[in-house]
Amino acid sequence: MKKMHLNGFSQACVGHHSEGQWKNPQYRLDSGYRTMDYWVELARTLERGFFDSLFLADVHGTYNVYQGSNRAAIQHGVQFPAVDPTFLIPAMAGATRHLGLACTYSTTYFPPYHTAKVFSTLDHLTNGRVAWNIVASYLKDAMADFGIQDNLSHDERYERADEYMDVVYKLWEQSWDEDAVVRDIGRDMFTDPDRVHTIHHKGRWFESVTGPHMCEPSSQRTPVLFQAGASGRGVAFAGRHAECVFTVSPTLAAGAKDVKKLRAAAVEAGRDPDDIKINQGLCIIVAPTDELAKLEEQKLRSYASPDGALALFSGWLGMDVSAIPRGEKLDESSTDVAIHSLRGFMQRIDPTRDWTLGAIADYMALGSIFPKVVGSPSTVADEMERWMDEAGMDGFNIHAPTQLSGLTDFVDLVVPELQKRGRLRTAYEGTTLRESFFGAGHKRLSARHPGRGVIGH
């Protein structure tokens, strides 16, 4: 029986995907996001539940489309204020032995030479447990703050990101020979200069990157590569680069189609269909019984912030929905929405439902666009098994509206049920994150991955 992969989804900010929960006394992310204790407790909890990774999202800038300003996002704590997730990773690594630690890093803001050094450092400090969620950023707000003029189209952003990846692959995979560090006292030589190479990258977006890479090879060399774009161009990018993809398919049937597309994109890029582990996002509310879980959902809804949810939604769409009365429907067809795959998303969740703006705000307020799973441990496990068996998913990206307390409930209640059903590991496969996803011995990027074959020195 196919075992599932589990990733806990969070962000080092006040409100991630369930806006307004900072008012809930059970919710600790609102102040915890800027403390080591919170993250260490979360990491230990996920490791106790045999999760593959903690996946930390990150953005720069504010959601400023709703009502033509960032006031709603600031007022309701919508992914703001926030701190930098990369610094949390070493703290969590020191408190765990197996859990993978993943974070987003933007190809828009940070040059590849810098990103390569950051992730090699994190891979050393975690002993090979780091993953990089590759994004081409969509919030225009912060571009000017970085001194970037954003005149790239959606597809150009992916094109640029493709070349970006070639640069980091050259730095991670080719700049250093395996045995370059010789520590040879006799020859008075720490590193053999003949075994460290410049990369001489010359390209359209990155005119000239010479190197060599600053860091000696880490356990994984290239961090495990996460990606979550879902447009046509996003899927092609995933087919070439991603080792783990994070989908938010609205239904099982849509999920099955997305899985097929992603596996076909991998094959198109010369890889095997299973070289990509596909993880579906779910918003999970679990309690000992179905009735108690429904009561918990009601309680969570009492803290929800519809304006905060719509500030997030408007930012994703790149379209201000505030002028639309709550009882009316929204017409997304006319705009060049920021996230292409969100166009018509609500209709795809349920074509029979009357998706007024009020209904969208209600849906989004708990777990944004993630499908909601509310119930007892066996109800939740049944639904997860369906996503595996009917849609062909490899695993999950779990959002809990109350974050640490919800993920702790998941670990205490659902994990034993999944293990009982033979769906979840009872021991970690190896020491690196790549081994958790691909099996013992698979520490390095697969030989089939294009990152192993880019033309370097």
Q: In the chain, what is the greatest distance between 2 CA atoms, to the nearest angstrom?
A: 80
**Among 22, 38, 113, 138, which residue sits at the site for ligand FMN (rule: CB under 6 A)?**
138
Q: Pick between residue 216 and residue 332 the one whose CB is nearest to ligand FMN.
A: 332
The span from the CA of 6 to the CA of 424, in Å, is 9
Element (H, E) at 278: strand 277-286
Does 59 interact with ligand FMN (rule: CB under 6 A)? Answer: yes
Q: With respect to ligand FMN, which residue has the nearer C-beta, 26 or 231?
A: 231
* Closest to 285 measured CA to CA, from 421, 395, 408: 408
x/- binding map, residues 265-284, to ligand FMN, per CB under 6 A? ----------------x---
Pick the closer one to ligand FMN by CB: 248 or 357: 248
Tell the smallest beta-carbon distance from residue 408 to ligand FMN (Å).
21
The answer to whether 135 contacts ligand FMN (rule: CB under 6 A) is yes
Interface mask (CB under 6 A) for ligand FMN, residues 79-118, using x and -? -------------------------x--------------
The answer to whether residues 291 and 263 touch, using CB atoms and an 8 Å cutoff, is no
Q: Does 251 bind ligand FMN (CB under 6 A)?
A: no
In this structure, the strands spanning 100-106 and 372-375 are: unpaired
Q: What is the DSSP letter of 304?
A: -
Cis peptide before 85 (omega within 30 of 0): no
- Of the ranges 113-121, 129-137, 185-193, 404-412, which one interacts with ligand FMN (CB under 6 A)? 129-137
Q: Please identify, among the stretches 63-71, 178-186, 292-300, 335-343, the one whose residues bind ligand FMN according to the rule CB under 6 A.
A: 335-343
* Residue 339 in contact with ligand FMN, rule: CB under 6 A: yes
Q: Which of 20, 61, 77, 234 binds ligand FMN (CB under 6 A)?
A: 234
Q: Confirm or reject binding of residue 4 to ligand FMN (CB under 6 A).
A: no
Q: Estimate the crossing angle of helix 357-365 against helix 306-317, to 10 degrees.
A: 100
Q: Which one among 101, 228, 242, 244 touches ligand FMN, defined by CB under 6 A?
A: 228
Stretch near ligand FMN under the rule CB under 6 A, chosen from 90-98, 203-211, 222-230, 357-365:
222-230
Q: Could you tell me the CA-to-CA distances from 170 to 112, 179, 186, 201, 269 in Å, in that order?
A: 10, 17, 31, 8, 18
Q: Which stretch binds ligand FMN (CB under 6 A): 117-125, 339-347, 401-409, 429-437?
A: 339-347
Alpha helices in 76-211 (DSSP H): 88-94, 112-125, 154-169
Q: What is the C-alpha to C-alpha distance for residues 168 and 159, in angstroms, rounded to an integer?
A: 15
- Structure tokens belonging to residue 124: 């050393």
| Closest-CA residue to 241 (of 153, 131, 323) | 131
Residue 230 interacts with ligand FMN (CB under 6 A)? yes
- CB of 214 or CB of 252, closer to ligand FMN: 252
Helix (H) / strand (E) element for 129: namely none
Choices 64-72, 175-183, 228-236, 283-291; region in contact with ligand FMN by CB under 6 A: 228-236
Query: Cβ closer to ligand FMN: 16 or 76?
Result: 16
Contact status: 211 vs ligand FMN (CB under 6 A): no
Residue 248 as a binder of ligand FMN (CB under 6 A): the answer is yes
- Residue recorded with tokens 């991998």: 266
Q: How many residues bind ligand FMN (CB under 6 A)?
A: 20
| Binds ligand FMN (CB under 6 A): choice among 27, 63, 132, 246 | 246
Q: Which is nearer to ligand FMN, 212 or 318 (CB)?
A: 318
Contact 131, 9 (CB under 8 A): no
One-letter amino acid identity for 126?
A: T
**Distance between CA 346 and CA 321 in Å, rounded?**
14
Distance CA 54, CA 63 (A): 24
336, burial (CB in 10 Å: exposed 0-12, middle 13-18, buried 19+): exposed
- Contacting residue, 294, 301, 340, 425, with ligand FMN by CB under 6 A: 340
If one asks whether residue 160 binds ligand FMN (CB under 6 A), the answer comes out as no
Residue 360 interacts with ligand FMN (CB under 6 A)? no
137 interacts with ligand FMN by CB under 6 A: yes
Least distance to ligand FMN, CB of residue 70, Å: 16
Query: Which residues does 209 contact at the CB level (< 8 Å), separation at least 6?
Result: 112, 113, 167, 170, 171, 199, 201
| Residue 48 CA, distance from chain mean position | 21
Rule CB under 6 A: is residue 341 a binding residue for ligand FMN?
yes
Decide: is 58 part of the binding site for ligand FMN (CB under 6 A): yes
Closest distance of CB 48 from ligand FMN, Å: 23
Q: Which of 249, 320, 328, 325 is nearest to 282 (CA)?
A: 249
Binding ligand FMN by CB under 6 A: which of 79, 126, 397, 432? 397
Residues paired with residue 227 on neighbouring β-strands, in sequence order? 134, 245
Q: 10 Å Cβ neighbour count for 125?
A: 16
**For binding to ligand FMN (CB under 6 A), which residues are involved?**
57-59, 104, 133, 135, 137-138, 228-231, 234, 246, 248, 281, 339-341, 397
